[in-house]
Every structure is written in structure tokens, then in C-alpha cells.
Amino acid sequence: MIENNIVISNLNDFIFCPRSIYFHNIYGSFDESLYHSTYQVEGRNAHKAIDAKSYSTKKSWISGIDIYSEALGVIGKIDLFNSETGLLIERKKRINKIYDGYLLQLYAQFFCLTEMGFKVKKLQFYSLSDNKKYDIPLPTEENKRKLLRIIQNMNSFDIHLPFTQNPNKCRMCIYNPLCDCYKNDEQT
């Protein structure tokens, strides 16, 4: 059932902070300019060509298609896939570090495309602001198990259970004014 599936882009958010998805859904009906940070606006703008499906006129480049995996219980979209070379690319505005959340997003896309019958041979991140490419190995069985554990944790997450925050992440979170776990250093 599609409505119970995890949205692939939420994998990165969940790893950053499980509560951020809850707050994102609260804000979901509001204009993003009210709560998005500069980084999020830049990221959204970086995906405009993908969302408009205007990245390339070459038939081998597939962009912005909906993907789904019944086995994983995830849905989402890809940025770019070259059907001739088998290259799957996830674009980010700027990559300073490849976080686990980034990898899990790309792996979920890989498994979706594979389940949908596409032959994915290579994975890559592309950093738009500095034009850097990062080749990523295809996922191992351990990567798949980790992805499944995160998906299971997302499905069973309860916002009312005790929560240990990461102060460094909390300071960077656009939702910290709403979160009862956030403790502003200036207030203490």
C-alpha cells in the first residue's frame, strides 16, 4: 500500500533527526519561505531542471521519474539515470562530506530501479556548486541490511518516547524553535 511507504528523501532527514520529519509534516502546508533555511532553498533550486524533466534531450537520460520498491516499502524520485551506461546520479547543491543519509537515499534509489527492471551499474553523487563527482560502490548486503534497519526504525518511531538529541545537529535544525528537546545555549 503506497500510503504506508517511506519517502526516500526522508531517510536522510531521519538520520539527521527522527523528529525533523514530524515537524516537516506540520509545516508541510505552509509556504516554504517561512521556514526553509538558505541551504534548503539552494537545494530546491538545484533540482529545478530535474523536476521540470529538462536536464537533457538525450533519450538515454531519464530524470525525475517516480520510483517504488515493494520489497523495501519506499517511494521517491531519482535525479538522473543514464539507461545506456547504467549510471545513477544523485545531485546535491554542495557536498562537503558524504553522510550516511546520502548513501541510504542513493541505495534506496538503486534498489527501486533494480526492482523496476532497470540495470544500474554505477552510482554517483554530483556536487553542483563545485562540479565534483563522487563515485560510490554499488550497495553490499550489509548496506541493504542497514537500509532495512533504518526503514524499520522509521516505521516504528514514536515521537513520545524518550529522545537523546545531538546538540550540534539541534543548533543547525530549522525546526529547533518547535522542538521540546532543543535547549538554546543562550537560555541556559
In a domain? residue 179: no
In a domain? residue 147: yes
Rounded mean pLDDT, 68-92: 96
In a domain? residue 176: no
pLDDT over threshold 90, residue 180: no
Give CA–CA dist 59/45, Å, rounded.
24
Are the beta carbons of 107 and 76 closer than 8 angstroms?
A: no
pLDDT band at 1 (very low <50, low <70, confident <90, very high): very low
Burial (CB count within 10 angstroms: exposed 0-12, middle 13-18, buried 19+), residue 185:
exposed
CATH number at residue 63: 3.90.320.10
Task: Provide the percentage of residues in the chain whose pLDDT is more than 70.
Answer: 79
Per the structure, the count of domains in the chain is: 1
Locate cell 548486503: which residue?
141
pLDDT attached to residue 32? 58
Burial (CB count within 10 angstroms: exposed 0-12, middle 13-18, buried 19+), residue 30:
exposed
Give CA–CA dist 9/13, Å, rounded.
7
Give CA–CA dist 136/123, Å, rounded.
5
Region of poorest pLDDT, from 1-5, 82-86, 154-158: 1-5
